[in-house]
Amino acid sequence: MALPGLHGSLPALVTPLDASRQVHLGDMAGLVRRALGDGASGVVVAGSTGEGALLEPDQRVALTRTAREVVDEVIGGDGAQRPLVVAGATGSSVAAVHADVARLAHAGTDVALVMAPATYPLTPEELVAFHLEVAEQAPVPTLVYHIPQFTGSVLVPDVLAALAAHPRIVGMKDSSPDTDRRAAFAAAAAGLDGFDVLTGHGPSLQAALEAGVVGSITAIANLRQRQVVRLHAATAAGDTVEAARLQQGIARTAAAVDAVGSSMQAVLKAALQLEGLVTERWCVAPLLSVPTARLDQVRTALLA
């Protein structure tokens, strides 16, 4: 089924922690409000940018409930086009993913962003079977999370029709840097009713939008949400010059984040702390936070 609101920029938010390394729900609420104020079509919590696989199930639930409360508070809770809450669902087994999706649905997510267990690389056929089984029991629509550089499991365009045949699978997020394959996904989805492709790769966002993806779920939107929204608008308007200018800026910031030498999650949190948007920069173990000696590099990245 087609899902209203599954378009535009839905930033993949970090998960802020407090001084005792517990989830800081107050800071999380602030990040959600800021994203909505900067034009987000929705927010994604507890995804890979949000260290979702390293969080406890009750922490993913708390993040989802917080996002739901803020969206309902800001929008009023009953608009047909209200921003979406998307929550990352994960687990080391099919049963664990079923349970996670059910918890997140009860906490108020509109969509579950489902990542397959990653211990063993899965074939395209195994990925399809997994996502169909999860969707069959899911109380909410599901979005297939394709991030083969993390999981080793690769989807191919030929299998999208099988996924789209299930009424609760509403699309996929493709976070691979492979722009040709993403264009092929978009082309395959164009003929499928109610199945949309979103990109998770900020450095190639313009190319993805021009290829036909309907939205983005990017980490760089934590720092450059307004630019991402403007890039969506420029591409939709056919203003390739402005879109290219915005893409260059987004790619430059993403490269500067990579150059710091810490995990992307760590650098984003450090940058948000330097901007006064989160209280602490700590990461969920075993990810390490940006050491004090590298904070000047983070400051430089913010200027890129």
Catalytic residue among 24, 68, 146, 173: 173
List residues bridging with 17 in a β-sheet.
Answer: 23
- Could you tell me which of 77, 14, 22, 103 has the C-alpha nearest to residue 51? 14
Query: d(Cα 138, Cα 168) in Å, to the nearest integer?
Result: 8
Strands 8-9 and 84-89: unpaired
266, 280, 259, 203: which is closest to 50 by C-alpha?
A: 266
DSSP 293: G
Only one residue has tokens 């879109």, namely 243
269 catalytic per annotation: no
Residue with tokens 């983005």: 216
Q: Which of 145, 185, 195, 282 is catalytic?
A: 145
What whole-number distance in Å separates Cα of residue 153 and Cα of residue 232? Answer: 29
For residue 179, count CB atoms less than 10 angstroms from its CB and return exposed for 0-12, middle for 13-18, buried for 19 or more.
middle
Q: Which residue has the tokens 């080391």?
A: 92
Helix (H) or strand (E) holding 84: strand 84-89
120 is catalytic: no
Phi, psi of 69 (to 5 degrees): -65, -40
Q: E strands within 175-295? A: 196-199, 215-216
3-state DSSP call for residue 222? helix
Q: Which residues are catalytic?
A: 145, 173
